[in-house]
Amino acid sequence: MAFKRAPDAIALTEALEIPVDWRPGDCPVSRTVAVIGGKWKPSILYLLHRGPTRFNALQRALSGITQRMLTLQLRNLEQDGIVVRTITPSVPPQVEYALTPRGESLGPVFDALIDWDKSRLDDRD
C-alpha cells in the first residue's frame, strides 16, 4: 500500500524536479557519507589526508579507539578502495596506511569541509 503525499510535498517535489519515486538511497551525498562517515572514519581520513601514517600512530592520535575498531574501520576503507595498507618487511613488520588515488580525490572535499568548519566557528564568535 503506497502512502499518499501531502499536496505541499508533491508541489515541492515537482518544483525541485525530483522524481516521485525518488528514494534516499538514490542520493549521492548519502551514498558517499555511508562510505566515509561514522564515528571514526572522518578522523582516520583526515589524518591520512595529511600523509601516510602507521597503525600505532593512528591509534595514538584517535584517543579512545580500540585496536579492533581501528582495524575494522581501516579494512572497510581498504575494501572501498579509499585506503591502501603497506607492510614493510622488517623486524618487527611495520604497517603503514595511505590514501589511494580514489582516497586522494577526496582532498578537495576535505579542504571544503575544513573551510566550512572554520567559517562556521568564525560565525559563532
Does 5 fall in a domain?
A: no
Does 8 fall in a domain?
A: no
Does 20 fall in a domain?
A: no
More confident residue, 19 or 73: 73
Does 119 fall in a domain?
A: yes
Q: Is the peptide bond before 101 cis (omega within 30 degrees of 0)?
A: no
Question: Residue 20 has what pLDDT?
Answer: 67
pLDDT tens for 43-93 read 999 999 999 999 999 999 999 999 999 999 999 999 999 999 999 889 988
Does 10 fall in a domain?
A: no
Q: Grid coordinates representing 25?
A: 538511497
Instruction: Tell me the backbone φ, ψ of residue 85, rounded to 5 degrees.
Output: -105, 130
Domain enclosing residue 38, as ranges: 27-124
Does 36 fall in a domain?
A: yes
Q: How far, CA to CA in Å, does 47 sit from each of 28, 37, 83?
A: 24, 14, 12
Provide the number of structural domains found in the chain.
1
Does 1 fall in a domain?
A: no
Question: Residue 84 has what pLDDT?
Answer: 98
Q: Grid coordinates representing 32?
A: 558517499
What CATH number did the domain enclosing 98 receive?
A: 1.10.10.10
Reduce the DSSP state of residue 16 to 3 states and report it.
Answer: coil
